[in-house]
Amino acid sequence: MLARVANNLFWMGRYIERAEHTARFMNVNYFSSLDAPNKLSQSRQFVLHSICSMVGDDIDDAIELKEEEVFYNVGMNPEKHYSILNCVKYSRDNANSSRDLISTEFYESINKFYHFVMNYSKNVFVKSGLHDFTTNVTEHTAILRGKIRGTLLHDEVYALIMLGVNIERATQIIRIVKTKFEDAQKATGGYANPIKNSYEWTTLLKCCESYDMNRRFYKKPPVQLTVLEFLILNESCPRSIMNCLNQIHQHMTILDLLKIRDKNSAAFLIGKMRSEYEFKTVEEVQKNVEKFVESTLNTLVEISAKLENEYFNY
Amino acid sequence: MDLGTSKPIFSSYKKNENLYDEIFDEHENVRPTYKKILELYSDHSISDFASLNEKAKSSFFNQGITFQVYSDEKAQEKIFPFDLFPRIIEAKEWKAIEKGVLQRSKALNEFIWDLYHEKNIIKEGIVPLDLISSSVNYLRQMNDLDPPGGIYNHISGTDLIKHSDGKYYVLEDNIRCPSGVSYVICNRNALKRALFGVFNHYQIHAVTNYAENLMEIMESVKPHGVDIPNCVLITPGIYNSAYYEHSYLAKTIGIELVEGRDLFVENDFVYMKTISGPEKVDVIYRRIDDTFIDPLEFRSDSALGVPGLFAAYKKGNVSLVNAPGTGVADDKAIYTYMPEIINYYLGQKPILSNVHTYHCSRKDDLKYVLENIASLVVKPVDEAGGYGISIGNRLTKAEIENVKKVILENPRKYIAQPIMSLSVHATYCEDSQSFEQRHVDLRTFTLLGDQKSFVLKGGLTRVALKKGNLIVNSSQGGGSKDTWVLKK
């Protein structure tokens, strides 16, 4: 496969995934804040800052944000590289460049998605369309994942897209954990251990579509420990970092079985990170969550850079 | 029922007596081939058609069968308009077309070989030397170079029209990078989706076998010593208006779609940059014009091509489809010599007629043209896409004077032909929400390989959507129709 096209496939996967997480984060945060149990979690400013922070637009907490402006920037502003609109546009641009390798069915779905986002009324979106727009985005991405799995050959094309999807998913989940962890420090819960019981943990699970399964797994209301364990280390949770790493590892071996023992390769680093995670405990993570988040993010960036260097450097 | 919108589809069809109508004969009777389909279509009301038309449009749009138009700095996506009424060609009629276009492709191939080798046809005075030496498409780099299999024009697109006498005439041969074949297949799919019922009543040749035949043609001209050739298609990139076609062909043939930057040349071999390192490339179906394929040999400002590609080609290490330098033979001035060319190389009479052509480079012809511009079509010899054409009976006096001036500045650049009246076909018009007569032509696709040839049983019927317009090119607002070739 052409190195240029491999790059396109990888980033197509990443942008599809990014669009989904951004959309869901906006949706869940905003709507769960409406009836949140404490004042801060209910506060519009708190939610808007949280949304900006998640997409990497760090704004001083003291600055007052306008709801419509934040919605527009994160959802549909063509000038903002992080907007959902741009994620969808970039993913479709990448699909265009690799169009001969992907199925007609998949292309048609991504193209429809693109037109849906481009044609959505900006006015409606910022005034009343948040829920409609973001749920549609999430659904379109689910369709795309289905078409990727169901209509493409499970060869290196598939492996590259899935590498992109899972690296992005791990990155977004860890970013969401980071953002909500910071929120939980501010919006503390009641009783003896305020941070551990914060309402933000529930929101965090919902942001990752993992609330129901978390309840089913622990049979208790979510607290810091169970939420972090579930989203970071539980390999059967499809949104957990552990699950992503397992998939990244699996697709990496499809792409390149030979390099796994080369200690400078992406494949080696992926294997190493996965092994470290496999024997990590949530108690260790809890000791310094910020540090753990930082190192996870850094390693993911490093993996991406190595992939770029080894495969996409044309 | 709303009587206003449910009127039968042909109730307001206006027939112009002077034009050849593909569906109705001169006594206003439906031609036998179209009887059944007209009957079937009559079950639909105009409003049915309006909604089918919308559906077909959104299907093209969602599938991304589009091209980009740039206006106000914003790129806009447009679909090529597709018409729901198919053009039907009888088996007997097709047989002659197929033989005729293949004959032309073969003769042109022999002609190009001769031009770049012995030049016998010039020595014998059949084609004048200055016509060749003055052609910008003549590549001296191709002299004495033997392309693999001896094939230059692997892919030819021949444009035909039906005149008011009911006979087919060839308008031009396109043997550089003819495009449009993907639309033949898309149109068929779109019509099948929209009006599947009508297909039960006709025995129609499939058009999906183009890709596999193109693959065989490419493999047949592989470089010497290669066992299983690695074939690729090179495109200028996603912003090219024919990018959809490039990606469609690469996908259906199952070969890589590459850009210039994906290839490099080392020791006169061509490689593509893959995730597992360089991979040798043997056959390139190039959709980039001659002058852009190699900045070292041709235009040095080309960013689309591959430096060193021509040297590799010259060494016989890579095959190019079509060969460089074919443009010298699809020049509109060469076109006029086609009957002589066919006779000279094949010893045959041309099966398809040429439109009589006046060369402004000839003194007598030039005089005739200047005196009769009002009844002639004047065309530049080396432009594609319908640009630079003036149609005499549409011009004002001032415009005629202007055309005269332009011709006199460079007579070699122009030819003139009598105004041919393209046949008309019932076409759904969105503005009037009804079927109206519109002019059509037909582009056929012929493949030529080593010991192998193929003519696609179907073609692209292009239709001029503007009323009375004779220029059918998509760049000038033309649309297209599904084209059925009947099995019997």
ipTM of the complex: 0.84
In angstroms, how far apart are the furthest CA atoms of chain B? Answer: 75
Give the span between the Cα atoms of B26 and B15, in whole angstroms.
10
Q: Which residues pair with B158 in a beta bridge?
A: B173, B444
pTM of the model: 0.88
Please tell me the distance in Å from B61's CA to the nearest CA on chain A.
Answer: 9
Q: Which residues pair with B320 in a beta bridge?
A: B284
Does residue B64 belong to the interface with chain A, where contact is any CB pair within 8 Å? yes
Q: Which of B247, B250, B273 sits opposite A314 (nearest CB)?
A: B273
Q: Which of B62, B238, B258 sits opposite A2 (nearest CB)?
A: B258
Give the pLDDT score at B142.
96
The HSE-up count of residue A29 (CA atoms within 13 Å, CB side) is: 28
Cβ-defined contact of A100 to B259 (cutoff 8 Å):
no
Give the pLDDT score at B257.
97
Residue B21 CB partners (closer than 8 Å, separation 6+) = B15, B423, B424, B425, B426, B437
Give the span between the Cα atoms of B227 and B231, in whole angstroms.
12
Give the pLDDT score at B302.
85
Q: Which of A2, A311, A314 sits opposite B256 (nearest CB)?
A: A2
The HSE-up count of residue B288 (CA atoms within 13 Å, CB side) is: 28
Chain A residues close to B272, C-beta within 8 Å: 2
Within 10 angstroms of residue A115's Cβ, the number of other Cβ atoms is 16
Q: How far is CA A250 from CA A240, B118, B236, in A?
A: 15, 61, 35
Take residue B191 and report the two structure tokens written for it: 């019509």
Amino acid letter, residue A24: R
**pLDDT tens figures, A59-80:** 888 899 999 999 999 999 999 9
Q: How far is CA B10 from CA A291, B30, B432, in A?
A: 76, 12, 12
Give the span between the Cα atoms of B488 and B483, in whole angstroms.
15
Chain B residues close to A107, C-beta within 8 Å: 63-64
Give the pLDDT score at B1.
36
Cβ-defined contact of B63 to A107 (cutoff 8 Å):
yes
Q: What is the 3-state secondary structure (H, E, C) of chain B?
A: CCCCCCCECCCCCCCCCCCCECCECCCCCECHHHHHHHHHHHCCEHHHHHHHHHHHHHHHHHCCCEEEEEECCEEEEEECCEEEEEEEECHHHHHHHHHHHHHHHHHHHHHHHHHCCCCHHHHCCCCCHHHHHCCCCCCHHHCCCCCHHHCCCCEEEEEEEECCCCCEEEEEEECCCCCCHHHHHHHHHHHHHHCHHHHHHCCECCCCCHHHHHHHHHHHCCCCCCCCCCEEEECCCCCCCCHHHHHHHHHHHCCEEECHHHEEEECCEEEEEECCEEEEECEEEECCCHHHCCCCCCCCCCCCCCCCHHHHHHCCCCEEECCCCHHHCCCHHHHCCHHHHHHHHHCCCCCCEECCCEECCCHHHHHHHHHCHHHEEEEECCCCCCCCCEEHHHCCHHHHHHHHHHHHHCHHHEEEEECCCCCEEEEEECCCCEEEEEEEEEEEEEEEECCEEEECCCCEEEEECCCCCCCCCHHHCEEEEEEEEECC
Query: What angle, 0 to 180 degrees and rounded to 10, lies between the N-to-C axes of helices B363-371 and B397-409?
Result: 160
Chain A residues close to B262, C-beta within 8 Å: 2-5, 314
Give the span between the Cα atoms of B234 and B216, in whole angstroms.
18
- pLDDT tens per residue across all 488 residues of chain B: 344 444 567 777 888 888 899 999 988 889 999 999 988 888 888 888 888 888 888 888 888 888 777 666 667 788 888 999 999 999 999 999 999 999 999 999 999 999 999 999 999 999 989 888 888 899 999 999 999 999 999 999 999 999 988 899 998 899 999 999 999 999 999 898 888 888 999 999 999 999 999 999 999 999 999 999 999 999 999 988 889 999 999 999 999 999 999 999 999 999 999 998 999 999 999 999 999 999 999 988 888 999 999 999 999 999 999 999 999 998 877 888 999 999 999 999 999 999 888 888 888 899 999 999 888 989 887 766 667 788 888 888 888 898 899 899 988 888 898 888 889 999 988 888 888 999 999 999 999 999 999 999 999 999 998 887 877 776 677 899 999 999 98
Q: Which of A6, A99, A311 sits opposite B247 (nearest CB)?
A: A99
10-residue stretch averages of pLDDT, chain A, 314 residues long: 95 97 94 82 88 90 92 96 97 94 95 96 94 97 97 94 97 93 78 70 91 93 93 95 97 84 91 95 94 96 95 85
Phi, psi of B480 (to 5 degrees): -150, 165
Cβ-defined contact of A100 to B62 (cutoff 8 Å):
no
Give the span between the Cα atoms of B106 and B347, in whole angstroms.
12
Cβ-defined contact of A108 to B63 (cutoff 8 Å):
yes
In terms of DSSP H, where are the helices of A208-265? Answer: 211-218, 224-228, 241-255
Q: Which CATH number applies to B224-317: 3.20.20.210, 3.40.50.300, 3.40.50.11290, 1.10.10.60?
A: 3.40.50.11290
Which residue in the block uniquely carries the two structure tokens 């439109």? B355
**pLDDT tens figures, A270-298:** 999 999 999 999 999 999 999 999 999 99
Cβ-defined contact of A312 to B64 (cutoff 8 Å):
no
Residue B367 CB partners (closer than 8 Å, separation 6+) = none
- Nearest residue in chain B measured CA to CA from A313: B275
Cβ-defined contact of A1 to B275 (cutoff 8 Å):
yes
Interface test with B, best of A8, A93, A99, A257 (most B CBs within 10 A): A99
Nearest to B252 by CA among A158, A103, A97: A103
The CA-CA-CA angle for residues A182, A187, A189, to 5°, reads 120
Beta strand pairing call for B424-429 and B434-449: antiparallel
Does residue A108 belong to the interface with chain B, where contact is any CB pair within 8 Å? yes
Nearest to A232 by CA among A182, A298, A179, A296: A296
Take residue A148 and report the two structure tokens written for it: 């990727």
If one looks up domain B356-418 in CATH, what number appears? 3.30.1490.270
Give the pLDDT score at B71.
63
Give the pLDDT score at B94.
97
Q: How far is CA B301 from CA B243, B293, B334, in A?
A: 22, 11, 29
Q: What is the 3-state secondary structure (H, E, C) of A23-53?
A: HHHHHHHHHHHCCCCCHHHHCHHHHHHHHHH
Domain extents in chain A: 3-312
Interface test with A, best of B261, B275, B287 (most A CBs within 10 A): B275
Instruction: State the virtual CA torsion across A14, A18, A21, A22 in degrees, nearest 10.
Output: 180
Cβ-defined contact of B238 to A97 (cutoff 8 Å):
yes
Domain extents in chain B: 1-207+329-355+420-488, 224-317, 356-418
B205: burial class by Cβ within 10 Å (0-12, 13-18, 19+)?
middle
